[in-house]
Amino acid sequence: MVGWVINLIAGLFILLSIIGFGRFFIKTAISGEINMFLGYRSPMSTKNKETWAFAHLYCGRLWWRAGLIMLPLIIAVMIVLLFFVRNENVEITVVILGVVATQGVPVLFLIISIILTEIALRKNFDRLGNRRY
């Protein structure tokens, strides 16, 4: 049961971070100021203010929407897994499934979102950061 609670808390923390940073990236895109300490920083996104704003708006929307979609799904999975925790023989299996559901899926999404953002940047800007028309 303790493993289930820890998984739920960790999963909620990750998902709320994704949602919060998604909103932060969207607001950062609006300001257009390149921040070298916090934000979506890649060689392509820091070419100029336009690539910076595009990357933050694109990635922020991905994170915001996906976080809102994953949140109830992860909670539902964890509630279903809770019913299996009653039997101590399967607790380790439930903990492993919980880790995959609450941490593995969101982290995999974060990796995929970086790839999608970089693809979108390269489709919309040349290597020097000039917009393609």
CB 121 within 8 A of CB 54: yes
Distance CA(35)–CA(49), nearest Å, equals 10
What is the domain partition of the chain in residue ranges?
Answer: 2-124
Per-residue pLDDT tens over the stretch 20-53 = 999 999 988 887 778 778 888 899 998 998 999 9
Task: Record the pTM.
Answer: 0.83
Tell me whether residue 8 is exposed, middle or buried, using C-beta atoms within 10 angstroms of its C-beta: 0 to 12, 13 to 18, 19 or more: buried
CA distance readout (Å), 100 to 43, 69, 86 = 31, 17, 20
Taking only the tens of pLDDT, the chain with its 133 residues reads 677 778 788 888 989 999 999 999 998 888 777 877 888 889 999 899 899 999 999 999 999 999 999 889 888 887 877 776 666 666 666 667 777 777 888 889 999 999 999 999 999 999 899 998 8
Distance CA(41)–CA(34), nearest Å, equals 9
